[in-house]
Amino acid sequence: VSAHGRAFGTPPTHAATAPGRVNLIGDHTDYNGGLALPIALDAHAAVVLGPGAPGRLEVVAADLDERHEGAFEASDIRADSTPAWFRYAAGAVLLGAGELGRDPESVGLGITLASSVPVGSGLSSSAAIEVATLTAIESFFGRTFEPRTKAMLCQRTEHEFARTPSGLLDPLASIMGATDTGVLIRFDSLSCTPVPIPAGVRFAILDSGEGHSNADGRYARIRAACEGAARALGVAMLSESSLREFTKRADSLAPEQRGAAAHVLSENERVRGFVRALGEGRLEQAGQLMNESHRSMSEQLGVSTPGIDRLQAAAAGVAGVLGCRLTGGGFGGFLVAMLDAGTSEAALKQIRQTASDVLGHPASVRLIRPGAGARPIEW
Ligand code: ADP
Ligand code: MG
């Protein structure tokens, strides 16, 4: 029996992976009680967790070759001096253990994390770390969280430890994603419905090369405009209103609130239309809705950039591209394109060519496949 009371030969470590995500349609709808349709990305964060030095919480960020160690204290974890990746992992541990009524302080914990999810690009590298950490915690304590509870623990980690006012889209997509399947999320009830992705389409992601940061205030400002619009329309959450109600009362909204409401309420309709069109094989129409979603993100919400608008127009114009839009919170990051499966290789080449012309350097474009959701690694 080892120092940790386990039978010899049984590693005391637990491991888990959790994917990033690509939102096909429905952005800035999560915190407004609306709809979204993400897929899990075939790129993951991996976390290995085991007992460490008693009283200490140590996190190694293997990709950065950095480590940070601290006490099991919320105020220490969220201190400005701690690296953000430490706050994501350690914050998730503290909240997760608390939710399960367990206190790992006496054994201490050591965590190693690594990830193939592009960082800070709207593909949800932060939620992948949180979800992978909580999935390893489930395995460590031999208890599981209800998926919605788990997603809310991730959101609390972002709010309380990283001070990022993010919604529930990223963790729910990472938890609920499945191979070749989209996840229709209704954020009023947090219900998740699998949506089979038709064999006739492929997806590609295109890096705009422009960085984004949720924490820099612009995201928070849009959230505030949405909340203001909801108040002006007499509802608790913007999505409880309707386009018709909004049209009647648009004059009573400040300009920023008007754009926010116009986007969110029309985006919910587009998500519904997209799911219907996919289900009925009307792929051209589904693609058009992605293009319209991009236009709304750009013109109503103002979360695109001139460079990203040029990339979207170039990619959307390629033969075999059904639709293309900025994915995620915006201000930079990746675009997602839906391609006709029959010509996807040729379309991919052509997107790479036109996007490289727009960017003035070789564009990073790749085909992706909706991948599996978070899971423990058995060993
Ligand atoms: P997104 O979630 O869209 O990728 P965020 O700004 O929410 O963007 O999260 C990015 C942050 O997540 C990074 O600044 C870093 O702190 C953390 N992060 C993501 N991946 C890694 C990694 N492989 N190693 C260390 N930290 C990471
Ligand atoms: Mg994030």
Its pTM stands at 0.94
Q: 321-349, pLDDT tens digit by residue?
A: 999 999 999 999 999 999 999 999 999 99
- Quickly tell me which residue has 């990830």 as its tokens: 115
84 alpha carbon to ligand 1 midpoint, in Å? 8
Contact in structure between 135 and 16 (CB atoms under 8 Å): yes
Q: Has residue 165 got a pLDDT over 90?
A: no
Contact in structure between 91 and 157 (CB atoms under 8 Å): yes
pLDDT confidence tier of residue 10, bands split at 50, 70 and 90? low
Mutate to test the pocket of ligand 1, among 64, 77, 85 (most ligand atoms within 8 A of CB): 85
Q: Has residue 209 got a pLDDT over 50?
A: yes
Q: 68-91, pLDDT tens digit by residue?
A: 999 999 999 999 999 999 999 999
Give the ligand with the smallest distance to the CA of 68.
Answer: 1
The residue ranking higher by pLDDT, 212 or 238, is 238
Distances (CA, A) of 122 to 65, 205, 311, 332, 339: 23, 11, 16, 8, 20
Q: Has residue 184 got a pLDDT over 70?
A: yes
Distances (CA, A) of 199 to 93, 339, 342: 39, 11, 10
162 alpha carbon to ligand 2 midpoint, in Å? 10
Q: Characterize the bridge pairing of strands 109-115 and 56-61.
A: parallel
Give the rounded percent of residues in the chain with a pLDDT score beyond 90.
91
* Residue among 119, 124, 139, 122 at smallest CA distance from 47: 139
Separation of alpha carbons 100 and 78, rounded Å: 21
Give the ligand with the smallest distance to the CA of 327.
Answer: 1
pLDDT confidence tier of residue 213, bands split at 50, 70 and 90? low
**Nearest atom within ligand 1 for CA of residue 170:** 2
Q: Has residue 365 got a pLDDT over 80?
A: yes
* pLDDT for residue 186: 98
Tokens of residue 101, six digits: 């009524």
* pLDDT for residue 364: 96
Mean pLDDT of 104-112: 94
* Residue among 263, 251, 190, 270 at smallest CA distance from 225: 263
Separation of alpha carbons 170 and 160, rounded Å: 16
* pLDDT for residue 195: 98
Q: Has residue 316 got a pLDDT over 80?
A: yes
What is residue 178's DSSP assignment? B
Q: Has residue 3 got a pLDDT over 50?
A: no
* pLDDT for residue 1: 35
Separation of alpha carbons 29 and 36, rounded Å: 7
Q: In whole numbers, what is the pLDDT of the chain averaged over residues?
A: 94
